Amino acid sequence: MRSFRTELEDPIVENDIIELEKKIRLFKDGKIDDEKFRSLRLARGVYGQRQPGVQMIRIKIPFGKLTVRQLRRISQVADKYSNGHLHITTRQDIQIHYVSLERTPELWAELEQDQVTLREACGNTVRNITASAKAGVDAAEPFDVSPYAHEMFTYFLRNPVCQEMGRKFKIAFSSSDKDSAFTLIHDVGVIPRIKIVNGEEVRGFKVLVGGGLGAQPSLAQVAYDFLEEDKLIPFTEALLRVFDRHGERLRRHKARMKFLLNEIGLEALMSLVEEEWTALKNKSYKVAGNAGNTTEIVFSDQYGNYEQVEEPTSERYQKWLEANVFEQKQKGYYGVFLKVLLGNTDTDTARKLAEIVERYAADDLRLTINQGALLKYVRKEALPALYRELDALGLAVPGFDTTVDITACPGTDTCNLGISSSTGIAKVLEDVIEKEYPDLITNNDIKIKISGCPNSCGQHGIASIGFHGSSLKNRKNGMVLPALQVLLGGGIDGEGNGRVAEKVIKVPSKKGPHVLRFVLEDYDEHKLDGEYFSDYFERQGKNYFYELLKPLADLDALEAADYIDWGRKEQFAVQTAVGECAGVIIDLVATLIFETEEKYEWAQESFAKGQYADAIYHAYNVLVNGAKALLLSEDVKLKSQATILKAFDEHYVDAGKIKLDSSFTDLVLQINKNEPTKEFAETFIAQAATFLQTVKDLRRQAISA
């Protein structure tokens, strides 16, 4: 592979991309271990696909905000390096598939020409920060959270505090108490608040922590009812430091913030956060109201350059207005939601959409967490013409965020973790609703969400009616068939209250449409006046629905078609591999020492630039990783960074193998007892350098013994 240089203005970004290209060459030459390389590429948005030899590229779109220029750039890149298809995710990212590993640095460099990044879109990092698509135009919002989401993204991108945590970390901003961004299922959830102090309005946030879905869902707990706006980023940084040190690292399935919170409790967690406050480089961090150019809307020269047309009289147009269009808080302007089937589109459509945005809306397209999009600042008189143009692209389908707008992850189409098809069944269910239950096209109560496995990328854990991919074995013939785990009763009620969906029963995948019919018709027949579906489920109880659906789980009368998954022709077989939702934990001693040397170099570089807090954290990682390398060489099981400190004291300091002026724990935890000054950084880096040399000497002695 050839080396190359980019033409980017930002040297940090340029060096990052060049470093990826170098690491790919080393990996291809067999000089970097596969697990180490996996961790590195995931943190740069390069994710292994179900299909061997190609990669999925996740493009990070902070809080879903895209300019027309960025949309065109992504389309150009998808045509050049992929197959011209784009996939909008439930985290407001865009994914492209079937990309050659060797071409990923060039792809990234081209994206960065329009400030689009791959960095930390995957891996054990702070993932894409999501927000309500209506932020900035929502009549119910106390203020626009977009600038805060933008600044949060900027602050933690490449931040040494959150580069190699035990697992991924997710942050969401909702625009109001309706919680349209689902803050309840995030590691950190943020909702705007205004408090009157001495007669003046003070901005702040309700802050939730420790939420998450997956196989063991948990709703977030309230850390603050009101946290002043300038304390939000410092709090988040302190929490990340706690998660980095105390979070699980041995058992991957227990390595999320929700498990740490459940283990030690909210009071203990907040106490640990307080202990980190001294070491923060910013005790207060004020966010400018126009960060990310989200408040000042800039229209293109072509804006408003359209011909007015007569308003359509069709029922479909009226349903589109009802379900997809809303009046913004800015009087005279309207937001228009686009329902995108399963979040999938192509570059030709994206380019034509870019032209439509230029004519009708502000240059601020928002991707949504249910895999759609939002056009902002559309004039009322432009709606008929806009409808006609969107309809020609297939983007004026009524029913955004209603029962017919089903959320589904890619599942077995491309993901290693997919068990049975999520996209295939989603298409079938949408068709059932459109043909048999047309009244539900404007229903905002019942939400259907589907994942290809238990991990809930399709958010089935908070669905009114949810499904996740699974399998069943017919004991009579020993054959395996695709299945769906049915979950019911979940959701966010529009007032900030959440409920996790309950597992009810597992049925063959081909019975999925019947499950939908059984549930909808039973609800329609037996609900009380005005009773919402979640309340109906709670009133009837899980066992009621188990008995209702039990006939569909019968495997005695299966047909040949039941052994073939939706959208497939071949007989079903379970084909899962190691997932890459977060990087694996690397336990190779030699690799760890190599990484530790790199971190020491980063500490020196940050110190030279005057970035003392970053330099200190890099030095902290030198100490922790060096100790981990020696402990792993003795097969010591290590649950977290905190246990590394304790174990190293026991196995090395107390055992007399290493002499220190204090315990190793006290040496390392100087990090949260000192201000991040130049003097402390210099001392701490020197201590890390001495320790690193000791680790290398001990390792050489062990190898030569």
Four-way CATH pick for 589-704: 1.20.120.330, 3.60.21.10, 3.40.50.2000, 1.10.10.10: 1.20.120.330
CA pair distance 279, 672, nearest whole angstrom: 5
437, 433, 465: which is closest to 450 by C-alpha?
465
Task: Compute CA distances 158 → 6, 506, 693, whole Å.
Answer: 19, 42, 27
Per-residue model confidence (pLDDT) at position 295:
45
| Residue at token pair 């229209």 | 299
According to DSSP, the β-strands at 465-473 and 480-488 are antiparallel
Per-residue model confidence (pLDDT) at position 701:
86
CATH 3.30.413.10 correct for 130-292: yes
Do 553 and 546 form a contact (C-beta atoms < 8 A)?
no
Per-residue model confidence (pLDDT) at position 180:
95
Q: Is the pTM of this model over 0.85?
A: yes
Residues of the chain with CATH 1.20.120.330: 589-704
Do 146 and 132 form a contact (C-beta atoms < 8 A)?
no
Backbone phi, then psi, for 337, in 5-degree steps? -85, 145
Residues of the chain with CATH 3.30.413.10: 130-292, 408-563
| 352, 113, 39, 124 alpha-carbon torsion, rounded to 10° | -70
CATH 1.10.3720.10 correct for 297-392: no
Backbone phi, then psi, for 206, in 5-degree steps? -80, 130
b/e per residue, 140-166, with b = 16+ CB within 10 A? Answer: ebbbbbbbbbbbbbbbbbbbbbbbbbb
DSSP class of residue 652? I
| Residue at token pair 């804006």 | 303
Report the amino acid identity of residue 491.
G
CA pair distance 633, 587, nearest whole angstrom: 9
CA pair distance 535, 677, nearest whole angstrom: 55
Residues of the chain with CATH 3.90.480.20: 11-112, 297-392
Do 325 and 390 form a contact (C-beta atoms < 8 A)?
no
CATH architecture for segment(s) 11-112: Alpha-Beta Complex (3.90)
Per-residue model confidence (pLDDT) at position 105:
96
* List of the chain residues with pLDDT < 70: 1-6, 289-298, 576-588, 705
Residues contacting 49, CB < 8 A, separation 6+: 55, 56, 97, 98, 414, 415, 416
CATH architecture for segment(s) 408-563: 2-Layer Sandwich (3.30)
DSSP letters for 503-530: EEEEEEGGGHHHHHHHHHHHHHHHPPTT
Do 219 and 491 form a contact (C-beta atoms < 8 A)?
no
Per-residue model confidence (pLDDT) at position 4:
54
Do 302 and 364 form a contact (C-beta atoms < 8 A)?
no
